[in-house]
A and B are shown apart, each in its own frame.
Chain A
Amino acid sequence: MSLFGSMQPSASTDKSENINSQPAVPIFNSKSKSSPSTVIAKGVRLEGDFKSQGDVLIEGEVVGSISTDSLLTVGNEALLKAGVQASEAVIAGMVEGNLQIFNRLEIKGTAKIKGDIVCKTVVVEAGAVLHGNMKCGDDAKNDNPPVQDPKLNIEQKPSA
């Protein structure tokens, strides 16, 4: 029904829709069946240095740095201008900043990453856009990219 079709998440009506677009919320892996402990949803901006021990899901905007000891999921409408550290990550949105992922990194076809990547293992879907150096493997985790200071690299918007 077209009436209730409007109830669908707005991802499918976005003008920047990508033919490879994935569901807005990537499926969590078996290690993280529970809902994420932190969610930054669409319509919300986080600025500063955010640290978490639990799973983190980003659908909104983050400016600064973000680190978690668990799984970081960046939805396909999310915008990160941030350095990222995480145990695991699934990236479907836009990231401007260096990524240091200690275990598995999954890059979806909708992802656009501008920054250096260090991870243990990586899965990249067709369609992903990557600008930067990438080092993968057991040795790579000792080869940390600097988690960039957003003040140096990112044009900050005036705070609300």
Chain B
Amino acid sequence: MNPAYAYIYDDFLVDRRYQEILDSLETKLAALGLSGRIGRLTLFRNSKELVEDFVSQGVKNIVLVGNDYTLDKVLWFLPDLPVTMGYIPLAEPWGMAGLLNIPTGMAACDILSARLIESLDVGKLDDRYFLSEIIFENTIATLAIDRAYKVTLIQGGLLEIRNLGQASFDSAKLSDAQDGLLEAVITPRPGLRGGFFHKLRHVEKHETRIMFKSGTILSEQPMEGLADRFAISGFNFKVSVVPNKLKVIMGRRMSGSNPK
């Protein structure tokens, strides 16, 4: 057993249909010399305590096994710990795997073995970290940026704050998690961009895009949104980027990054 590795299994993996692939996974990891301790997330188990317990025992690599929701359960606190994150996606949704260039299933073990580590920026929403994006739908929020200017949706719409990639289908436009910036993408309500059928068209022209480092999201109405698929609500949110905060074992070097 490699004491530097710990694997966090999501609770849905207790289902019988995952038993076979977990057995194969553990066999392959053992063959690669990467087998480590295993912790299982459960409904009433504090994920932060579980991971911190591993770290206090000398674990240097936390590998999350499950799907994108597994990442969400851990990523909100993981950047503060002195560990490198790995990801083995075994079930959908696994869009984050694509953004991190990690193949799904057993092939992800080879990525762990190759051990190409990248430092990624993480976003911070108040006291909570996020890796991919924050989404507020149907909001009339104002985004005040760097105390210099503010951006307002005149008639409301969709406000996204992106650090890495995006949750929509348009995977061609990926935010860079190594540029030290967040990207605000604001899309007015459909009425302003030509009605329902306009959704079928490419609407990039109607998206506001601004790069920034820190700002505040303000609204007179309570806002409900998602930060890395985790539900959030409130009136005001401070949002910022923390450069090079999270070390991740990735599939291949991100475009534009410098070899270390």
Contacts and interface: CB of A to CB of B under 8 A. Distances in A.
A18 to B, nearest CB: 19
B93 interface: no
A43 B189 contact: yes
B140 interface: yes
Contacts of A39: 207-210
B156 to A, nearest CB: 9
B238 interface: no
A64 B150 CA distance: 10
Given A7-B198, A7-B200, A50-B149, A44 B140 contact: no
B197 interface: yes
A24 interface: yes
B208 A41 contact: yes
A9 B188 CA distance: 14
Contact of A6 (B157, B195, B206, B208): B195
A4 B200 CA distance: 10
Contacts of A8: 194
Q: Report the contact-size class of chain B (Cβ under 8 Å from the partner).
A: 20 to 34
Given A44-B151, A48-B149, A7 B194 contact: yes
B153 A44 contact: yes
B231 interface: no
A46 interface: yes
A4 B197 contact: yes
A49 interface: yes
Contacts of B155: 43
Given A7-B194, A9-B194, A10-B194, A45 B207 contact: no
Given A43-B188, A47-B152, A7 B201 contact: yes
B211 interface: yes
Contacts of B189: 43
A5 to B, nearest CB: 10
Contacts of B154: 43-45, 60-61, 160
A59 interface: yes
B197 A38 contact: no
Interface of A: 3-4, 6-10, 24-25, 35-51, 59-61, 64, 159-160
Given A6-B198, A25-B205, A64-B149, 5 more contacts: A6-B194, A43-B155, A46-B151, A48-B148, A50-B149
